[in-house]
């Protein structure tokens, strides 16, 4: 993913990104992973209302949910990060941004929406990181396919946690600023 792409995430004409609301037709969302569908259908709004996470939905031209992502905050232990990432960090729990969920509906997969949603989620993280500091974005990949999808964009495995991936804030900053 290039810096320019992260800076200016453009969705195709007719698509719009909105913060999840009760009126959005989330019960009809199918991305092929029941766990992801179930999150959006029955938990995402509750968690948002409790201020545990925020979800954004990409609506298509008829108002159906074409995709979504959920962001939250979290912590990882100092010892969970690779030594090269922690050289100058204190030995304690460290704040992270969490890309908790991402999905694209089956009828829209393969048309670049997942890549754009990931870019927008990372942009949201970067913007939040100007005000609330964190050392990395982390996520738990559901399976090998999802892991391969994220690894294309510089997410790396946490040592000893093959499905937990991270992107350092320094790398995110490079993507955003091109420096």
Ligand X SMILES: CC(C)(COP(=O)(O)OP(=O)(O)OC[C@H]1O[C@@H](n2cnc3c(N)ncnc32)[C@H](O)[C@@H]1OP(=O)(O)O)[C@@H](O)C(=O)NCCC(=O)NCCS
Q: Which is nearer to ligand X, 81 or 113 (CB)?
A: 113
Instruction: Identify whether the C-beta of residue 161 lies closer than 8 Å to the C-beta of residue 80.
Output: yes
150 part of the active site: yes
Can you give the C-alpha Rg of the chain in angstroms? 16
Q: How far apart are CA 152 and CA 114, in angstroms?
A: 12
Long-range contacts of 88-91 (CB under 8 A, 24+ apart): 89/135
Restricted to residues 67-126, the positions that interact with ligand X (CB under 6 A) are 101-104, 109-115
Q: How far apart are CA 60 and CA 124, in angstroms?
A: 21
Assess 1 for contact with ligand X (CB under 6 A). no
Assess 32 for contact with ligand X (CB under 6 A). yes
Q: Burial level of 15, CB count in 10 A (0-12/13-18/19+)? A: middle
Token output for 156: 């790396």
Looking at 11, 68, 126, 150, which residue is catalytic?
Answer: 150
Token output for 100: 């908790």
CB of 46 to ligand X, least distance (A): 18
CB of 121 to ligand X, least distance (A): 11
Q: Which is nearer to ligand X, 32 or 82 (CB)?
A: 32
CB of 131 to ligand X, least distance (A): 26
Taking residues 147 to 176 in sequence order and writing x for each that binds ligand X by CB under 6 A, - otherwise, the string is -xx--x------------------------
Any idea which residue has 């790398």 for tokens?
Answer: 171
Q: Which is nearer to ligand X, 86 or 164 (CB)?
A: 164
CB of 64 to ligand X, least distance (A): 15
Report, as residue numbers or ranges, the catalytic residues. 150
């Amino acid at each position: 993913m290039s810096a320019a792409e992260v800076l200016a995430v453009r969705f195709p004409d007719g698509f719009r990104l909105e913060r999840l609301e009760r009126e959005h037709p989330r019960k009809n969302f199918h991305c092929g992973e029941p766990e992801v569908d179930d999150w959006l259908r029955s938990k995402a709004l509750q968690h948002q209302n409790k201020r545990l996470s925020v979800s954004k939905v990409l609506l298509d031209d008829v108002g159906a949910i074409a995709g979504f992502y959920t962001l939250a905050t979290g912590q990882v232990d100092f010892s969970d990060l690779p030594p090269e990432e922690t050289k100058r960090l204190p030995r304690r729990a460290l704040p992270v941004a969490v890309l908790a969920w991402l999905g694209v509906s089956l009828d829209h997969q393969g048309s670049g929406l997942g890549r754009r949603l990931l870019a927008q989620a990372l942009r949201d993280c970067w913007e939040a990181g100007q005000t609330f500091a964190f050392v990395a974005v982390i996520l738990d990949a559901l399976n090998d396919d999802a892991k391969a999808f994220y690894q294309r964009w510089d997410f790396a495995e946490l040592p000893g946690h093959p499905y937990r991936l991270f992107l350092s804030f320094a790398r995110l900053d490079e993507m955003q600023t091109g420096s």
